[in-house]
Amino acid sequence: MVRMAFSAQLEYEVLDAGCDFIFNIQAAYTPRQTVVEESLGLEPALTASYYTDPQTHSRFIALQAAQGRLSVRYSAVVDLIHFEAAPGELFELSPQALPGSVLPYLYPSRYCQSDRLLAFAGQQFGGLSAGYSRAKAICDWVGQHVSFQGNTSNSNTSALDTLIDRVGVCRDFAHLMIALCRAINLPARMVSGMDYGADPALGPPDFHAYVEVYLCDASGAGRWYMFDPSGTAIPMGFVRFCTGRDAADIAFATIFGSVNAAQPVISIQAVPDAWGQLVVPQHVGYALSTDGA
């Protein structure tokens, strides 16, 4: 078990009267991610609506802000109880054997146009033996063929652009890996959290986007396993905020109006658990999942 303490602070100057926001910055409640404590502060004090998606456990905060300053602060302590599996024991399911709720993650989405990549993904990864190692091969290929570089992509950049341009940030790496997985019929989705363990040379701590691939273990149980194609952070320290098909679903803030936004201020660290034990997340050679029971 890993205990993570983190906080996010978002500051806006709202330019329009009556600007709507939808935030996805809260830790999801799942059997393997227990929220020990959390606190949400809105300034000015505003009435917000809260919604939890029953399938993804993503938590939405919807509110309308008046002109002027809006400040959102969220902090939490969560316990991550990872499911760990030996890579060699994880296999792929054929589409017809997938649970129905997994099917949407086989289909193309806004930024992951897997329908265009059938031939390329087939050429490149079709011949590899199926299972965790193939998902890992895709993850590694993306990490090796795309350069991490800030300000090279924008909100319109898709997996096809990244395949062509070979440059991007964490969301672009994730989109390309997801699209390639779906193109070989491997369900893949995107998760938002924080870039625990990232090299300070890449900038201050930030939100992060990573990938989950649906695989089945030897007992026949399917789960979503974590991958970090950008390789910039340490998956064992990833907290789950929002889960979706791609960045269109999991933006930390969707804003309907004109604002000036400050750079989010993020902090995340491993802390001792209730028994005083500190487990520091590290890179591991086995497969990790925070999905399921």
The residue ranges that bind a copy of itself (CB under 8 A) are: 18, 20-22, 48-49, 51-55, 60, 62-64, 94-101, 103-104, 106-110, 113, 115-117, 119-120, 123, 145, 147, 155-156, 160, 163-167, 185, 248-249, 254, 256
**What DSSP string describes 181-192?**
HHHTT--EEEEE
159: tokens are: 């997996």
Residue entry with tokens 């890179």: 283
DSSP 123: H
CB of 73 to a copy of itself, least distance (A): 19
CB of 51 to a copy of itself, least distance (A): 3
Nearer to a copy of itself, 29 or 60 (CB): 60
Nearer to a copy of itself, 52 or 71 (CB): 52
Nearer to a copy of itself, 96 or 219 (CB): 96
CB of 42 to a copy of itself, least distance (A): 13
DSSP 201: G
CB of 164 to a copy of itself, least distance (A): 5
CB of 241 to a copy of itself, least distance (A): 15
Nearer to a copy of itself, 147 or 282 (CB): 147
The answer to whether 47 and 63 are in contact (CB under 8 A) is yes
CB of 21 to a copy of itself, least distance (A): 7
Nearer to a copy of itself, 258 or 267 (CB): 258
Task: Map residue 230 onto helix, strand or coil.
Answer: coil
Which residues are CB-contacts of 154 (< 8 A; sequence separation ≥ 6)? none
The answer to whether 157 and 140 are in contact (CB under 8 A) is no
CA 210 from centre of chain? 4
CA 228 from centre of chain? 9
CA 122 from centre of chain? 25
Residues 264 and 206: their CA atoms lie apart, in Å, by: 7
Nearer to a copy of itself, 75 or 185 (CB): 185
Handedness of CA 163, 167, 211, 123 (dihedral sign): positive
